[in-house]
Amino acid sequence: MFMFNLDDIHEFVEAASVIATQAPTGVLKFSPQMFSIMATALPPSPRSVLALQIRPQFFRSYTCTSQLEYAWIFLNDLQFTLSEMDCNGFPELLFSSTEPDCAHLTFRPPASNYNYRLYKLPLCPGTGEMDMDQEFDCTTFVSIPSDFFNVVLNVFMDCFDYVLVTVTASLARFCNDAGDIVLIAQENQCSIGGVSSEHQIQFLISLSPWASFRELARRAERVWIYKPNTSSFGIIAAPVGLHSRFLAYVPA
CATH of the domain at 78: 3.10.150.10
**Residue 47: its pLDDT value, please?**
87
Co-location of 91 and 145 in the same domain: no
- Residue 135 pLDDT > 90: no
Among residues 63, 96, 125, the one where a domain terminates is: 125
**Domain match, 149 and 235 both:** yes
Q: Are residues 71 and 146 in the same domain?
A: no
Phi, psi of 109 (to 5 degrees): -75, 165
pLDDT tens sequence across 234-249: 999 999 989 999 999 9
Amino acid at 183: L
Residue 165 in contact with residue 204, Cβ under 8 Å?
Answer: yes
pLDDT at 229: 82
Residue 248 forms part of a structural domain: no
Q: Beta-carbon neighbour count of residue 184 at 10 Å? A: 11
What pLDDT, in 10s, does the model give residues 201-234? 999 999 999 999 999 999 999 999 999 888 899 9
Give dist(CA 24, CA 42) in Å, integer. Answer: 9
246 domain-assigned: no
Residue 252 lies in a domain: no
Mean pLDDT, residues 95-105: 92
Q: Can you give 84-142 as a three-state secondary structure string?
A: HHHHCCCCEEEEEEEECCEEEEEEECCCCCCCCEEEEEEEEECCCCCCCCCCCCCCCEE
Of the residues 67, 100, 125, which one is the last residue of a structural domain? 125
Question: Cβ(11)–Cβ(83) under 8 Å?
Answer: no
* 8 lies in the same domain as 85: yes
Query: Do residues 244 and 54 make contact, with C-beta atoms less than 8 angstroms apart?
Result: yes
- 109 and 7 both lie in a single domain: yes
Instruction: Name the more confident of 73 and 134.
Output: 73
Residue 249 inside a domain? The answer is no
Domain membership of residue 216 (yes or no) is yes
pTM to 2 decimal places:
0.94
For residues 105 and 168, state if they share a domain.
no
Per the domain annotation, does 204 fall within a domain?
Answer: yes
Q: Is residue 43 part of a domain?
A: yes
Q: Are residues 151 and 235 in the same domain?
A: yes
Residues of the chain above pLDDT 70, percent: 98
Look at residue 173 and give its three-state secondary structure.
strand
Is residue 146 domain-shared with residue 229, that is, in the same domain? yes
**Domain total of the chain:** 2
Are both 162 and 196 inside the same structural domain? yes
Express as a percent the part of the chain with pLDDT over 90: 83
Cα atoms in the Cβ-side hemisphere of radius 13 Å centred on 135: 4
Least confident of 61-70, 82-91, 105-114, 147-156: 105-114
Report helix, strand or coil for 209.
coil
Residue range 118-141: average pLDDT? 88
Chosen domain end from 95, 125, 155: 125
Domain residue limits at 6 = 2-125
What CATH number does residue 186 fall under? 3.70.10.10
Phi, psi of 180 (to 5 degrees): -155, 130
Inside any domain, residue 23 = yes
Residue 94 shares a structural domain with residue 181: no
Contact predicate 44/135, CB 8 Å? no
In whole angstroms, what is the distance from residue 28 CA to residue 124 CA?
10
Mean pLDDT for 92-97 is 95
The dihedral through the CA atoms of 24, 244, 145, 135 has a sign that is negative
Same-domain check for residues 157 and 96 = no
How far is CA 210 from each of CA 204, 222, 237, rounded to the nearest angstrom?
16, 17, 16
- Tell me what pLDDT residue 213 has: 95
- Cα(61)–Cα(2) distance, integer angstroms: 11
Cβ atoms of residues 221 and 240 within 8 Å: no
Q: Are residues 194 and 160 in the same domain?
A: yes
- Candidate from 17-26, 101-110, 127-136, 167-176 with smallest mean pLDDT: 127-136
Where does the pLDDT of residue 134 fall: very low under 50, low under 70, confident under 90, or very high at 90 and above? low
Average pLDDT along the chain: 93
Q: Write the pLDDT tens digit of every residue in 22-60.
A: 999 999 999 999 999 999 999 888 889 999 999 999 999
Q: pLDDT band at 138, cuts 50/70/90?
A: confident
Q: Residue 94 above 80 pLDDT?
A: yes
